[in-house]
Amino acid sequence: MSTTRKVLLGLVASVTLASMALLAPTATPPASAASLVQVTNFGDNPGNLQMHIYVPDTGPTPRPIVLAMHPCGGNGPSFYASTEFASLADRYGFIVIYPTASNRRMNCFDNWSDESKIRGGRTDPVSLVSMVNYAVQQYGGDPNRVYATGSSSGAMMTNALLALYPDVFKAGAAFMGVPFACFPNEADYQPGGNSNCSNARINRTPQEWGDLVRQANPTYRGPWPRIQLWHGTNDFVVAYGCLQQEVDQWTNVHGLSTTPTSTDYPQPNWVRQRYADSTGTVQVEAITITGAGHNLPMGGMAAYAISFFGLDGTVPTSTPTTPSNPPITSSPPGSTGACRVTVNINAWNNGLTADITIVNTSTSTINGWSLTFTLASGQTIVSGWNATYSPPSGQVTARNVSYNATIPPNGSTVIGFQATHTGNTDRPSSFALNGTPCSVF
């Protein structure tokens, strides 16, 4: 059995046979309280997908809709059983659609074909929009409050739906995804394997990532959907470096800087970076889960997604206070010096990726920077993003590129690289920004 197949099967190893009891009949009666109902003949379905829907007993009129998409190897009923979206729907009254991908590529949603990258392409995105339209027409769904979320393959499709149908989806929450149009073809669709996309080896500027979205809808003038992005630093299936590429894409689409407007720590091992517009509305939110692998969402994370959508009664702003968000600290303890560096390593066999967040803790704006550090013995950089790197081993200097040369006071930028190793996967050391030593976390 191939490594990729083993990894994809592992994504659904926690789904028990008992979850099969959730499979509903093929009829299409209105859903009742606490029931998952299968819908057939929901409309145009070129992707040959299946549709299940969950409609709580009570809720607003019309009802918001959340499209919740499973990872590779999964299905709609298993995602219903293993996530908290249905229980949150009971609390807040929104509809949840649980699609199931066809059996190609281990039940992965099509994020690789040319058709999946164009509006109206004859594949999965059209089928998913048909499900939304059906829910609006048959279940009293609100066409002005439609949201997408998903895990892994479902997260990749979340990015795609927001890019292809920004007039349908108001916001999305992607757990462990990649940017829209990242996979060049089906051959590269190898999460957990030798994929340039899922290993974050495709090097594009924010402008180039953003152009891929705009080219999918050349006549669309906005507003673009808001997006919340989640990733674990120890993800061996979809590299953590993909998170920054998603941030680059969507901040560019929204016309925002890649420097977050705020950073906080809402839970232990969580780092949340927000990118707000001039009105204070957070358009892009990136949440790093330190030490987490390819197993998101975990308990409680769905509530943060629903809060980001505003479906718990809150208004999306740059500093929301919600029951699902516990008290926030503004910075980690021990943040001293003119610069602060956070390093996350994702290692495997004889390779690794490193993501480095550089924070300007001085009171002056940095215009042009170089970051020096020492690689661990036996490590050699083979590629990088958001900076140039030389030499590839020993004491390395990372220099800014054109779009991230400026770091304002308390601002930050994220860079990263991929390296080979001979067994030593330690983090780099001895960081200095423009010659000034940095605190390291």
> Contact, 286 vs 272, CB < 8 A?
yes
- Biggest alpha carbon–alpha carbon distance for the chain: 68
Active site residue 152: yes
42: left (phi over 0), alpha (psi -120 to 50) or beta: alpha
Active-site entry in 78, 116, 130, 152: 152
Strand partners, 298: none
**């979206």: which residue's tokens?**
85
What's at 300, amino acid-wise?
G
Contacts of 266 (CB under 8 A, 6+ apart): 272, 304, 325, 326, 328
φ and ψ of 104, to 5 deg: -75, 150
Helix (H) or strand (E) holding 343: strand 339-348
Closest CA to 77 of 154, 13, 21, 134: 21
Q: Kind and range of the H or E element at 351?
A: strand 351-360
What DSSP designation does 36 have?
Answer: E
- Chain centre distance of CA 46: 26
Residue positions annotated with a catalytic role: 152
